[in-house]
Amino acid sequence: MIIAYRSNGESMVLPVDQQLQTLPADVVWLDLAHPTREEDHYAQILTGIEVPTREDLHDIEPSSRLYAEGGALYMTASLLCHADTATPKLADIAFVLTERHLVTVRYDEPKSFKLFSAALGRMSNGDCAPHAVLIRLMETISDRTAEILERAEMKGEALLLAIFGDGEQAVKRRPPRFLENLLSAIGHHHRLISKARDSMASLSRLMTFLSGSPVIQGDAEARSLCKSVVHDLQTLSEHAAFISSNTTFLLDASLGLINVEQNAIIKIFSIASVVLLPPTLIASIYGMNFRFMPELEWTWGYPAAIIMMIVSAVIPFFFFRWKGWL
């Protein structure tokens, strides 16, 4: 689908069978969402530039994501998509900037695009250049990433509370498989943060390349806005690194609690074996079948043996309690 956005924010879908030879003069942004081969070819006719295809986005090397060709700037960035679901992922999106148009090629649905298209009409009173649209789009993507990181930080706080309690009263009893499920949640949390960091690194490279282009250097307002977006991305990257370190702490804390619980179980079995060792020794002695055993003729021999086994088990138990091992 090809969506053309005018400078006043209005949008229109361009069907392939319409076969316009030129775009209206006030169209500044051409958004290709899940384009077919026919739509790719149609967009090339309308803009006069080579539009990246799905294969180009998949096969592009990291060193070839940013380049200028034929008077146009070709930029590819990885955007975080489906951040609100259990399967966040990175989607490669192409940005082609010419003197008259901004062309974006995408095969996913980043939420930032929907937010930006809805607010496009409020930009510069309906009069905006393609490079200004691109910078504002990058600003919206940065704001969306900040929102994702804010939610991720709140999720980290919830995980921390689940591990250690509210601070006033520690968690004493946990449901079955609680820590295993907690590890799974931490893994998802880490996956989201790592993909957000990869996305911001990609966007930072794009903005650095865009800032050095002649079209930005010749526009003081655009140059200032570029610096602001670059600064925001750097700040977000530092914040994401902080959240990532907290995630590492959560993982270490969860693994530590698992080890503590395992050690507690092993300690119980160890103490039980030590407590039952003296009664077992007494029972083994009186379980032997030698002919000459003085105690065999005792009238109170059996209850005496029972009492000795009980006493020999109780003494170690209270000794361990006194030492604080139980």
What's the 3-state SS for 216-262? Answer: HHCCHHHHHHHHHHHHHHHHHHHHHHHHHHHHHHHHHHHHHHHHHHH
Separation between Cα atoms, residue 246 and residue 303, nearest integer Å: 61
Length of the chain: 326
Separation between Cα atoms, residue 181 and residue 171, nearest integer Å: 16
Q: Are 138 and 104 within 8 A, CB to CB?
A: no
Residue 250's pLDDT is: 81
Separation between Cα atoms, residue 67 and residue 50, nearest integer Å: 13
Q: Which residues of 197-219 are buried (b: 16+ CB within 10 A; e: fewer)?
A: bebbebbbbbbebbbebebbeeb
Alpha carbon of residue 73 to chain centroid? 30
Residue 19's pLDDT is: 65
Structure-block tokens of residue 115? 């937010």
Residues near 223 by beta carbon (within 8 Å), at least 6 away in sequence: 211, 216, 217
Residue 97's pLDDT is: 86
Q: Are 96 and 51 within 8 A, CB to CB?
A: yes
Residue 94's pLDDT is: 87
Residue 21's pLDDT is: 66
* 195 class by beta-carbon count within 10 Å (0-12 exposed, 13-18 middle, 19+ buried): buried
Pair type for strands 102-106 and 27-33 = parallel
Pair type for strands 11-13 and 2-6 = antiparallel
Using alpha carbons, select from 82, 76, 87, 88 the residue that is nearest to residue 109.
82
- Cα dihedral across residues 111, 90, 150, 143: positive or negative: negative
Separation between Cα atoms, residue 64 and residue 62, nearest integer Å: 5
At 129, is the secondary structure helix, strand, or coil? coil
Residue 161's pLDDT is: 79
Q: Are 27 and 6 within 8 A, CB to CB?
A: yes
Q: Are 110 and 80 within 8 A, CB to CB?
A: yes
The residues with which 31 forms a beta bridge, in sequence order, are 3, 104
Residue 317's pLDDT is: 80
| pLDDT by 10-residue block (mean), the chain, 326 residues | 76 70 74 82 77 71 74 85 84 85 85 80 65 86 87 83 66 67 82 87 87 82 85 86 83 78 78 81 78 74 83 82 72
Separation between Cα atoms, residue 26 and residue 284, nearest integer Å: 99
Separation between Cα atoms, residue 4 and residue 125, nearest integer Å: 18
Residue 159's pLDDT is: 81
Residue 230's pLDDT is: 86
Q: How many CA atoms lie within 13 A of 307 on its CB side?
A: 5
Maximal CA-CA distance, the chain: 118
